[in-house]
Chain A
Amino acid sequence: MDPMIILTTMFILMVQEGSILLIATLGEIFTERSGILNLGVEGLMCFGALSSFIVYYLTGNWVIATLAAAFAGLMLSLIHAFVSITLKVNQTVSGLAITILGLGLSSFIGRPLALSRVRIEPLESIRIPVLSEIPVIGPSFFNQNPLVYFSYVMVIILWFILYKTSFGLNLRSVGENPSMADSLGINVFLTRYIATLVGGALCGVSGALLILGYYPSWYDGITAGRGWIAVALVIFSSWNPLYAFFGAYFFGLVGTLNATFQSIGFRMIPTDFFRTLPYLLTIVVLVIFSSTRFRRRKMPASLGKPYTREL
């Protein structure tokens, strides 16, 4: 086979997989920057995927379907926000509960869909003139469906909001030192609610991309642990949207190795190994990047700590 074609195919798959991870990672970065740890990403993605699948099936309109996914993610993360910001419950516990809830709800509601094998047409790709002519990069990055383009735009938007606006500065400061932010008149609770809801909505949208883009029918466990990879990617990218871009496509690339090696008939290494690779890498990343030295510098200082106002 022509190596150019192999490479191009590999890149296309990389962008598809990477964009799903990217949107969820961006959402979680936004949330964590405000000091709220939301481990519910997997559940939010899955529930978002199901919601958009149903709405798309009923309306045939991908925009409405995507909004439905965002709304689903937002509602589920509202529970997390209420429990961890207002009730100040341990955020790890609450986040895990959201994952279980999201996966459980999706599985329950989606069962008839899975059994009846309802199918949808995947979103169509839009070719961007000129840019899509670039070899390898063109067909992979610039001939994709609109939600993939949304993921690129979100990188810039989130980066801009976090670093160039006063709301972003407030949000980051709340994640670092909420009592100080409070004393300067910043509404810590409101900021954290907004960050958690927006982050949750993005996780929902990432689920929408997953199913509207690449899976014609619903099946149980469709997210396959991608939410957890996104959680690792947040750390890998040092809580910075720009680095998340590279991190997500790197993980996307690793995720395509299986298909690529199969297509070129390379059988020296069992396919199970490649399938496990992204998860293995997730663990490695978590271990390396969780070292105290790294975290002290980059991690939002108040991540996971509930804020209580002193008298």
Chain B
Amino acid sequence: MSENLLEMVDIVKVFPGVVANDRVNFSLKAGEIHALLGENGAGKTTLMNILYGIYKMDSGVIKVDGREVSIRSPRNAIKLGIGMVHQNFKLVPAHTIVENVILGSEKNGFILDLKKSGEKIKNLASSFGLMVDPFSEVWKLSMGERQRVEILKLLYRNVRIMIFDEPTAVLTPQEKKELFSSLREMSSKGKSIIFITHKLDEVLEISDRVTVLRRGKNVATKVTKETNKVELANLMIGRPVIFEYSRYPPKLSGLALKVENIRVLDEDGNLRLKDVSFSLNSGEIVGVAGIAGNGQRELAEAITGLRRVSSGKIFVKDKDLTNASPRRFFENGVLFIPEERLGVGTAPNLSVAENLVLKSYNNRPFCDSVFLNFDSIQKFAERLVNDFEIVCPSVKVPVKLLSGGNLQKVVLARELSSLVGGDGRVIVAMYPTRGLDVGATEYVRRLLLKMRDQGNAIIFFSEDLEEILSISDRIFVMFDGRIVGEMDSGKADVEKIGLMMAGSAVS
């Protein structure tokens, strides 16, 4: 292959208490798709933020086209032809696509010619297979479409190096396919792509080369064709990962949750759940498949008391808890692992330890009558950090400084720890492994299975069909506010579930 377009040599970045990048080396060739792989907290996002000028490195050298450059801001990076698509999209929902794309571009005159820019964006979009209507407003778009707008922003500025931070985490299977074909199109037209992901299958499918980071250090750079899933997993976490889960049939022990004809409205008064009914037994695990935005969030919030139902009934073990407070649901054994980690899931400015006891702080041993017992809180937190392999400098740092995957682990650890050894609970989990590395994913799936075997009822939502098939006993498919399909996982058919998710087949 050709000369290196980009070289990052001996990059060091230290945050208080952690060395996020410890003499990392990374190189990129023109027209290549290069995957960046690593556990949660390995330093992938940090490395890319340095390249994009968001963080300042402590030492190291970055070369573009063989020349040493200094990148002090994203604007700088863009001038050098480097652009980044963040995991949380940076768009203005109230503005149109054109307005979002041209914002801050040096090509704008004082008076804007939106028509002309719109034409240009349309042409760019169609040449890379990124179909969008330049004049529609961003809040109306799906996650996949928003991602295209982010990509168009980079193409409009003519960048040569495009960084994607976990781009598939928010996409439906269909959107993922489209993204991959656009990526191939871009690389064939000479763009170089850096692709961060936790999913080994994606690495094998899309990349030319792969670099693995572990605890801030380079472990290896491999040509994708010459490696495989097992080797990559091994490099990443230093031990083999088992992708199969041994399963016994569930031992059902009575009704845990019963939902009868519930309807739920969203903030705008639209009906988001249309007569949903189901029941969940202790000792089973149900996976809910569906494209995000088809009522999953509303359903999860309704059965945990976070959202009022406008009609219908919710029973937790024969007790009518319809429209009871979240606290009452919690006291009756309903636990919730929310989708948003930073907002609902954690208090960003509180420490890791405080976040870990957030739900049990007023119980012994964390609290004797009035005062918090910080010693026991700290011990407890340290144990969880250890068990869940949460990477953080200490349990005292604010939780907002953790990497994406580690934040997720904090939420999981808090919710799951409060019921170790317990039974007869209802666990509602939204996308429990989203953003987790393979090791943590495996751990969480095992934990969910263990909870099941202890006699808890589990309902979890996921966009990952493979995950749903591998651990659930029963599968629901949601579409347009309804449960449109229900089947035993033994008899499940991937094709058919895929069709139901898209609303084109009803069982």
Seen from chain A, the residues whose Cβ lies within 8 Å of a Cβ on chain B are 164-167, 169-170, 172-173, 176-177, 179-181, 183-186, 292-293, 296-298, 300-301, 310-311
Contact = CB atoms under 8 A, between A and B. Distances in A.
B109 A166 contact: yes
Given A185-B75, A185-B104, A311 B55 contact: yes
Nearest to A180: B90
Contacts of A297: 94
B91 A301 contact: no
Interface stretch (B38-46, B95-103, B212-220, B464-472): B95-103
A158 B112 CA distance: 15
Interface residues of B, number: 26
A185 B112 contact: no
A301 B139 CA distance: 12
18 contacts: A164-B114, A165-B110, A165-B111, A166-B112, A170-B104, A173-B95, A173-B104, A176-B95, A177-B91, A180-B90, A181-B104, A183-B75, A183-B90, A185-B73, A297-B94, A300-B94, A301-B93, A301-B94
A185 B104 CA distance: 6
B267 A184 contact: no
A292 B267 contact: yes
B269 interface: yes
Q: Which 8 residue pairs of A and B lie closest in terms of their CB atoms, listed nearest first?
A: A184-B104, A185-B75, A180-B90, A166-B108, A176-B92, A183-B74, A185-B104, A186-B104
B110 A167 contact: yes
A169 B102 contact: yes
Given A166-B112, A183-B54, 19 more contacts: A164-B112, A166-B109, A167-B110, A169-B95, A170-B104, A172-B92, A173-B92, A177-B90, A180-B90, A180-B92, A183-B90, A185-B78, A185-B104, A293-B267, A293-B268, A297-B94, A298-B94, A301-B94, A311-B56
Contacts of A296: 267
B387 to A, nearest CB: 31
B99 A169 contact: yes
A25 to B, nearest CB: 20
Given A164-B112, A185-B73, A311-B55, A169 B103 contact: yes
Contacts of A164: 111-112, 114
A298 B286 CA distance: 40
Nearest to B99: A169
B80 to A, nearest CB: 13
A181 B110 contact: no
A18 to B, nearest CB: 28
Interface string B62-100: 000000000001110010000000000011111100010
Contact of B103 (A184, A293, A298, A300): A184
Interface in B17-75: 54-56, 73-75
A229 B411 CA distance: 46
Contact of A181 (B56, B78, B103): B103
Interface of B: 54-56, 73-75, 78, 90-95, 99, 102-104, 108-112, 114, 267-269
Contacts of A167: 110
B94 A184 contact: no
A298 B139 CA distance: 12
Contacts of B269: 293
A50 to B, nearest CB: 36
A172 B112 CA distance: 14
B75 A184 contact: yes
A296 B99 CA distance: 19
Contacts of A298: 94
Contacts of A185: 73-75, 78, 104
Given A165-B110, A166-B109, A296-B267, A180 B91 contact: yes
Contacts of B268: 293
A167 B104 CA distance: 9
Contacts of A176: 92-95
A170 B74 contact: no
**Max chain A Cβ within 10 angstroms of own Cβ: one of B54, B104, B114:** B104
A239 to B, nearest CB: 10
B85 to A, nearest CB: 12
**Max chain B Cβ within 10 angstroms of own Cβ: one of A172, A173, A293:** A173
Nearest to A310: B54
A184 B74 CA distance: 7
B399 to A, nearest CB: 16
A166 B110 contact: yes
B15 to A, nearest CB: 10
Contacts of A310: 54
A296 B216 CA distance: 41
B411 to A, nearest CB: 23
Contacts of B267: 292-293, 296
A172 B78 CA distance: 22
B103 A170 contact: yes
A124 to B, nearest CB: 36
A169 to B, nearest CB: 6
Nearest to A185: B75
Nearest to B102: A169
Contacts of B93: 176, 301
Contacts of B95: 169, 172-173, 176
A69 to B, nearest CB: 28
Contacts of A177: 90-92
B11 to A, nearest CB: 17
B469 to A, nearest CB: 37
Nearest to A292: B267
Contacts of A166: 102, 108-112
A310 B267 CA distance: 32
Contact of B112 (A169, A183, A184, A292): A169
Contacts of A300: 94
Contacts of B109: 166
Nearest to A167: B110
A186 B102 CA distance: 12
A189 to B, nearest CB: 15
Nearest to A160: B111
Nearest to A172: B95
A175 B349 CA distance: 24
Nearest to A302: B92
Contacts of A183: 54, 73-75, 90
Contacts of B102: 166, 169
Contacts of B99: 169, 173
Contacts of A184: 74-75, 103-104
B185 to A, nearest CB: 25
A145 to B, nearest CB: 31
A183 B85 CA distance: 12
B112 to A, nearest CB: 6
A311 to B, nearest CB: 7
B500 to A, nearest CB: 32
A126 to B, nearest CB: 30
Nearest to A168: B112
A143 B267 CA distance: 47
A300 B93 CA distance: 10
Nearest to B108: A166
B146 to A, nearest CB: 13
Contacts of B104: 170, 173, 181, 184-186
A168 B314 CA distance: 50
A296 B78 CA distance: 32
Contacts of B91: 177, 180
Contacts of B74: 183-185
